[in-house]
A and B are shown apart, each in its own frame.
Chain A
Amino acid sequence: MRCWSRSRPSSRSRMREFTGTGVSPGVGVGRVRVMTGSVPVPPAEPFTGDRVAETARALAALEEVARELESRATAVGGEAHDVLSAQALMARDPDLAGEVTVGVSAGLSAARAVYESFGFYRELLGGSGAYISARVADLDDVRDRTVARLMAFAVPGVPETDERYVLITQDLSPADLALLDPAQCVAFVTEEGGPIGHTAILARAMGIPAIVACAGALEVPDGAYVLADGASGTLVLEPDPARVERARAAEKARAEAVGSATGPGRTKDGHPVPLLANVGGPADIEPALRNGAEGVGLFRSEYLFLDEAVPPSEEQQIAAYRAVLEAFPRVVVRVLDAGADKPLSFLPPAAVEPNPALGERGLRLLRRHPEVLKGQLKALARAAEGLPADRLRVMAPMVTDAEEARVFTRACRDVGIQQAGIMIEVPAAAVRAHDIAEEVDFFSLGTNDLAQYVFAVDRQVSSLTRLQNPWRPALLDLMAHAARAATEAGKGCGVCGEAAADPVMACVLAGLGVTSLSMSSPSLPLVRAALAAHTYAECQEAARAARAARTAGDARAAARAALPALETLGL
């Protein structure tokens, strides 16, 4: 993502605009708060005051930090909750408190003793395995919070202020993001990160306008007045009132367009593109219905069983599936997708793997545990009893070739499931989609994992998320190829990755020949509006123009240029 600047025609050229990737639409205007994680190292000079009081001060600061982290943990859910409660445990660690006490008795200040004690554990953990090394960042965060308190510095992390602000930061962890109050943080901009990272997904879910991968953003001084446009990905320094007015008008137009776009997904000239929801559990059903989902394009069945030590009983499964099957006219269930970043204890791989993303996961793992796959398919078939035959569609994750697809289709047919499909996440499956189309009833492009494997970038390495950009032409070509293979075989080819949630990309995907789009529910209205504003021919032209580009940035710009109505939507 290149950053470019527009110099004013004045004598002094000065950076006025920065461009990144808009990942959550909306306009935020306000003073900048730069979030930096830098807390100075406390000086090592000997402490000459009251050591007992100084020890008490150190321990009180640790306890305050622990309490703060705990209260934030209870306010959030999911992964962020686990991270924050583990950090609270670190702040309350009795051995750490012992180290700090010894440090102060030896003549260190509270801040220095805390700093050195954390340093001791940092050494200890840093030399361990990969998992723990990742915890070192969490440990540093606890250290910085405590030292900042003791030295009366601003606590690093999300600003605590009563004013509305635009947050600018290097990157934002889920833990930090979970703490943002949308009423105060009117937008955030990160210099790193990518469009399919946790940050982008959570920002959309929280409805905070956001720009990621915005090179140079950290040069904006704290307190500067800026406009951040999460639709276009533009950050404007010291915008004039006319500029703010324009952005606000565009946002209003978008809100109106979104409000008026209802009903099934289709282009302006009536080419249907069903809009479906990604669902992880019963709690997601209501928002999907509220946002007009025409069905479920991805039911992540493993989320029901993440904390189970044994495979769930058939009755448990049937109840969970039935709830979703009764709520929507079409439901695509992905069979258990375990392994890599989603280990399930009752589905262990054969051995400890150095590269789980390239190991036994998805269908590969289910072939090691055929009884689990069979049990799940049976439960699905039973849950669909008495419902229309095309209501239930089942797909397998991580399929590599036609032979694997055939095995899966046969397993579905054996229990009476009519519609069997596969996820296309492995590049080989996309390349040979013609072979696979003969073995299955439908495809679903899993863009997040497909990008991971095409670009050889581990999804979990946040420093490389820029390489995971779904606009990169190599990925567009592969998706086009798979969609064409499906069309030629008379089969459907949907998309169920985060890429589908980008309204511009959604038009391109429709143009590539994708037949349905599935995304997290909050993204549905804007995608519906973007499709409804363009003809099918315009979508095809946008797809062609994007594929003709050589970089992700150029591909997106070319697609936008071919989609004239984006302007009226404020996109």
Chain B
Amino acid sequence: MAERHVRVESLVGLHSRPAAEFVKAAAAAPMEVTIGRFAEVPVNAKSILGVLALDARQGEQLRLCAEGDGADEVLESLATLFTEPNA
């Protein structure tokens, strides 16, 4: 199980364009990817509705998880989406 911790930098939180871009990138991954808060049940990162329902705001810490071949690389590239606060 690979894991990455990310901080939501975008001003609008994980919504709108940042959410759509994240989900599109996750959907392209050849494995299951989840995203969520630390003490909560994570959601399917490929589900825009699940991601929107997280309602993650700017400054929140989230955990990305994936399992299988290339999981590390997948999470690495997904994590880069969070370092650019393209509000």
A309 lies within 8 A of B55 (CB): no
B53 lies within 8 A of A125 (CB): yes
- Residue-wise, chain A 103-129 has the 8 Å CB interface mask toward B (1 for contact) of 000000000000000000100110011
A129-B55, A345-B11 known; A94 and B46 CB under 8 Å? yes
A345 lies within 8 A of B49 (CB): no
Does A344 interact with chain B (Cβ within 8 Å)?
Answer: yes
Q: Determine, out of A84-92, A491-499, A520-528, the stretch whose residues face the partner at the interface.
A: A84-92
B85 lies within 8 A of A85 (CB): no
Number of cross-chain contacts by CB at 8 Å: 70
Kindly list the 7 A-B residue pairs having the minimum CB-CB distance in the complex, ordered from nearest.
Answer: A95-B47, A345-B85, A345-B87, A89-B48, A128-B55, A343-B11, A124-B53
Q: Please give, as numbers and ranges, the residues of chain B lying within 8 Å of A95 by CB-CB distance.
A: 43-44, 47, 49-50
Does A255 interact with chain B (Cβ within 8 Å)?
Answer: no
Kindly state the separation between the CA atoms of A286 and B84 in the bound complex, as whole angstroms. 33
Q: Please give, as numbers and ranges, the residues of chain B lying within 8 Å of A90 by CB-CB distance.
A: 48-49
Kindly state the separation between the CA atoms of A161 and B15 in the bound complex, as whole angstroms. 35
Nearest chain B CB to A302's CB is how many angstroms away?
12
Interface bracket on B: 20 to 34
B49 lies within 8 A of A96 (CB): yes
B57 lies within 8 A of A352 (CB): yes
Q: Please give, as numbers and ranges, the residues of chain B lying within 8 Å of A553 by CB-CB distance.
A: none
Kindly name the residue among B16, B53, B58, B87 whose own CB sees the greatest number of chain A CB atoms within 10 A.
Answer: B87
Q: A residues within 8 Å of B by Cβ?
A: 82, 85-86, 89-90, 92-96, 121, 124-125, 128-129, 131-132, 135, 139, 307, 309, 343-345, 348, 352
Residue of B nearest to A124 (CB): B53
Does B86 interact with chain A (Cβ within 8 Å)?
Answer: yes
Kindly state the separation between the CA atoms of A121 and B19 in the bound complex, as whole angstroms. 16
Nearest chain B CB to A284's CB is how many angstroms away?
22
Interface hits, B35-87 → A, CB 8 Å = 43-44, 46-50, 52-53, 55, 57-58, 84-87
B53 lies within 8 A of A345 (CB): no
Q: Please give, as numbers and ranges, the residues of chain A lying within 8 Å of B10 by CB-CB distance.
A: 345
A95-B47, A309-B84 known; A89 and B20 CB under 8 Å? yes
Kindly state the separation between the CA atoms of A550 and B50 in the bound complex, as whole angstroms. 50
Nearest chain A CB to B51's CB is how many angstroms away?
9
B49 lies within 8 A of A309 (CB): no
A94 lies within 8 A of B86 (CB): no
Q: What are 17 of the A-B contact pairs (CB < 8 Å)?
A: A89-B23, A92-B27, A93-B48, A93-B49, A94-B46, A94-B47, A121-B53, A125-B49, A125-B52, A128-B52, A128-B55, A129-B57, A309-B86, A343-B87, A345-B9, A345-B85, A352-B57
Q: Please give, as numbers and ranges, the residues of chain A lying within 8 Å of B4 by CB-CB distance.
A: none
Q: Please give, as numbers and ranges, the residues of chain B lying within 8 Å of A128 by CB-CB distance.
A: 52-53, 55
Q: Please give, as numbers and ranges, the residues of chain A lying within 8 Å of B86 by CB-CB distance.
A: 307, 309, 345
Q: Please give, as numbers and ranges, the residues of chain B lying within 8 Å of A131 by CB-CB distance.
A: 12-13, 15-16
Kindly state the separation between the CA atoms of A139 and B16 in the bound complex, as whole angstroms. 13
A348 lies within 8 A of B11 (CB): yes
Kindly state the separation between the CA atoms of A82 and B17 in the bound complex, as whole angstroms. 7
Residue of A nearest to B84 (CB): A309
Kindly state the separation between the CA atoms of A93 and B45 in the bound complex, as whole angstroms. 10
Kindly state the separation between the CA atoms of A343 and B85 in the bound complex, as whole angstroms. 11
15 additional contacts (CB under 8 A) given A128-B55, A309-B85, A309-B86:
A82-B16, A82-B20, A86-B19, A86-B48, A89-B20, A89-B48, A94-B27, A94-B44, A94-B46, A95-B47, A131-B16, A132-B55, A344-B87, A348-B11, A352-B57
Kindly state the separation between the CA atoms of A344 and B16 in the bound complex, as whole angstroms. 14
Kindly state the separation between the CA atoms of A93 and B46 in the bound complex, as whole angstroms. 7
Kindly state the separation between the CA atoms of A131 and B53 in the bound complex, as whole angstroms. 11
A93 lies within 8 A of B53 (CB): no
Kindly state the separation between the CA atoms of A86 and B50 in the bound complex, as whole angstroms. 13
Q: Please give, as numbers and ranges, the residues of chain B lying within 8 Å of A82 by CB-CB distance.
A: 16-17, 20
Q: Please give, as numbers and ranges, the residues of chain A lying within 8 Å of B16 by CB-CB distance.
A: 82, 86, 131
Kindly state the separation between the CA atoms of A131 and B27 in the bound complex, as whole angstroms. 23
Kindly state the separation between the CA atoms of A307 and B57 in the bound complex, as whole angstroms. 18
Kindly state the separation between the CA atoms of A348 and B8 in the bound complex, as whole angstroms. 14
Residue of B nearest to A308 (CB): B86
Q: Please give, as numbers and ranges, the residues of chain B lying within 8 Å of A352 by CB-CB distance.
A: 57-58
Q: Please give, as numbers and ranges, the residues of chain B lying within 8 Å of A309 by CB-CB distance.
A: 84-86
Nearest chain A CB to B46's CB is how many angstroms away?
5
Kindly state the separation between the CA atoms of A344 and B24 in the bound complex, as whole angstroms. 23
Kindly state the separation between the CA atoms of A124 and B52 in the bound complex, as whole angstroms. 9
A124 lies within 8 A of B49 (CB): yes
Nearest chain B CB to A84's CB is how many angstroms away?
11
Nearest chain A CB to B67's CB is how many angstroms away?
17
